[in-house]
Amino acid sequence: MSTVAAAVDPDRLAAAKLWLTSEKGGDLPYLSTAVYSLAAVSTVQVDTLVADSDWRIYANPAWVSTATVPQISAQLAHITWHLLAGHADRAGSMHVTLATAPAWRDAADVTVAETLTASGLGEHRLPMPAERGLPHARSAEEHYATLSGLPAPPPDGDTGSPATAPHAADGCGSAADGLQRDHELALSADVGAVGTVAADEIRRRVAIEFREHVTSRGTHPGDALRWATAILEPVVPWQQVLTAAVRRAAGWANGHTDYTYTRPSRRQFAVQGVVLPATRRPLPTAAMVVDTSASVDDGMLGQALGEVDGAITALGVPGEQVTVLACDAAVATVQRLRRGSDARLGGGGGTDMRAGIDAAGRLRPRPDVLVVLTDGYTPWPQTPPSGMVLVVALLHRAGTSAPRAPDWAVTVDCAMS
């Protein structure tokens, strides 16, 4: 619990927030939503102004009364960027402890310093990367790896949390490193904590306004722009997208129904003397065309096969109901298996996935879902195969691109590390 002193002058804090976000002051209007969400707590246990991970600021009244408005504004911007960047949660992911917290705080601070300097806020007085012997425009995690040697996670699931809290004067509060100080209030305290959902919404609004601001001004602080892009354009792992595409395709096939006389219709009781058929919804059948040409990386192929296997298994396809066609310029093998990853793949020549797709169309029963795993360097049929939903998994290494698949196919871009 904090040691409460005389209340912080609210007019001074209000003036600092206004100066920070106004055109004639700090000219950082995109921070408005964030800084006006910060609730203030007075305490003499801190020297200046810090924050906890619940978006509460702890201010020393004497410092607030004597510091200049630009100085207060700069400190507000500093701790606000810790909160926006989620440095507390990221510190937890890096297993930051009391021993390694100084290295993490330095790493986080230099990323904030770059952002504030590029934004024209020179009052922050934070060290730039070069002053710590660090490269420009890197993430806090990369800087932390350099500063700390990136210690391995503690064994047996122990997060390495310190037995005692850091000193109140250490750094910028738990907003920066996730380690709660003695002066910080509990989440349940009747003082304006910002919950997880609200914090995410604040970050999204700030990211939108930040990207508009830096685009119009032509300045692009590296880590901050990456942060805004990650908020507004999150990258969904290709594994999830591929699994969802296979399940969705099977769902379309599974929506088809057939008539059967092997069991009575539910409407039979309404009609006398006539036998009505019941309807049944058969399980979908699946097939894979696997590009085994020389240009396809076996490691990527194995990863993708495993993901497709998982999706098909979850659909409840029974027994050996998955047909795998190994294809380069022609179909080399056709195998019915429980799992595509069990297939013996032959080939290694040129590439023409049309041969595999045509062969899949001649299978009996014809597959409802056809998954083609390829690097995309192949000719394609002019029209979609009849009676099948085609899912194309385009395999390539991260940082490279694959050729486009036909618009009529469900395409998943699988960028692998």
Cα 279 to Cα 259: distance, rounded to the nearest angstrom = 4
Q: What is the full DSSP assignment across 305-316?
A: HHHHHHHHHHTT
295 falls in which pLDDT band (50, 70, 90)? confident
Quickly name the fold that domain 238-261+277-416 has: Rossmann fold (3.40.50)
Check pLDDT > 80 for residue 404: yes
42 forms bridges with which residues in the sheet? 59
Q: Provide mean pLDDT across the span 59-88.
A: 95
List the chain domain ranges.
10-232, 238-261+277-416
In tens, the pLDDT along 320-358 reads 568 888 898 899 888 887 777 777 776 667 889 999 999
User: What pLDDT is stored for residue 120 in this prediction?
Assistant: 83
In tens, the pLDDT along 224-270 reads 788 888 888 776 677 777 888 887 777 665 545 555 555 666 665 66
User: What pLDDT is stored for residue 254 in this prediction?
Assistant: 54
| Cis geometry, peptide bond prior to residue 166 (ω within 30 degrees of 0) | no
In tens, the pLDDT along 197-221 reads 899 999 999 999 998 887 766 555 5
Could you tell me the two tokens for 126?
A: 């934070």
User: What pLDDT is stored for residue 261 in this prediction?
Assistant: 53
- Average pLDDT over the chain reads 82
DSSP state of 85: T
392 falls in which pLDDT band (50, 70, 90)? very high
